[in-house]
Amino acid sequence: MWKAVLVIGLAAFGAGAALVAVPSRQGYAELLLLDDDIEAAILSARSEPAEGPPTHRRNFLDYQLAAAMGDITGAATALEALPASALVDSHRIAFAHATGAPETWLDLQLRQDVVTHSAYQRQEVASLLRRAGRYEDERAYLARLAEAGSLDADLALRLAWLELAAGETRAALVRLADLDDAGQLTDRQGRVTLASLLIEAGQGTQADARVARWDAGSPERAMRATVENFFASEIADGRNIWK
């Protein structure tokens, strides 16, 4: 399956119309690859020795031929010889994913402009970084998504937890408050944390208003009691946490 994924993109390296206009062995090999005639493509490419330094187009053809033959080492070598570009990076990502190299796949994803990432990619990258214990990289990636306006609500909540763990209390407070203002903070722990951060920041009145709203929409109406239990010792000492 991975062979089929990798055998694409010839036109970007000068093939296209040149395949018809230039009846070279290389051009013929490219046409055969497009027709999925792997054996004939290999024979055609090898029947004409390459002259001069390898071109990007030649390296790309070598990559595709190696991939089609299942030569992972050869495909990787040819792919690495290509200059970085959106197309080449997309092939490197597909290659890493297809050959079971999650760390390489991750690093390539992190090199990309996050604006190009789909919702699936965002979730997958964040999940793999988390499972690999790369929390700083995960926080940096999610922060880039937030800056680009591409942060899903669940990932925004995850970023708030990472910011808290990194001691960035103010950033976490603002992020949780923004989620709540958008009606996207439905997680109980997230709500308790936001109220607690507001109280600790001396914004008890705002915490009071938010807790009242949460309890009004909940049959249990237990959020206020949960937050007060969190500050039980201070309340016992006479502190009014809601001011």
Is pLDDT of 12 > 70?
A: no
Q: Answer whether residue 240 is part of any domain.
A: no
Q: Answer whether residue 115 is part of any domain.
A: no
**Full domain range(s) for residue 73:** 1-95
Task: For tokens 């090999």, name the residue.
Answer: 29
pLDDT for the residue numbered 103: 80
Confidence label for 19 from pLDDT (cuts 50, 70 and 90): very low
Domain count, the chain: 1
Task: For tokens 């001396």, name the residue.
Answer: 202
What is the mean pLDDT of the segment spanning 15-42? 52
Q: Answer whether residue 199 is part of any domain.
A: no
Q: Answer whether residue 39 is part of any domain.
A: yes
What is the mean pLDDT of the segment spanning 174-184? 98
Q: What is the pTM of this model?
A: 0.68
Q: Answer whether residue 30 is part of any domain.
A: yes
Is pLDDT of 152 > 50?
A: yes
Q: Answer whether residue 194 is part of any domain.
A: no
Q: Answer whether residue 139 is part of any domain.
A: no
103: tokens are 């760390």
pLDDT for the residue numbered 121: 87
Task: For tokens 């290389």, name the residue.
Answer: 26
C-alpha to C-alpha distance for 124 and 121, rounded to whole angstroms:
5
90: tokens are 């997309």
Find, among 199, 197, 200, 218, the residue nearest to 208 by Cα: 199
Better pLDDT: 238 or 60:
238
C-alpha to C-alpha distance for 98 and 112, rounded to whole angstroms:
18
Residues contacting 19, CB < 8 A, separation 6+: 10, 27, 30, 31
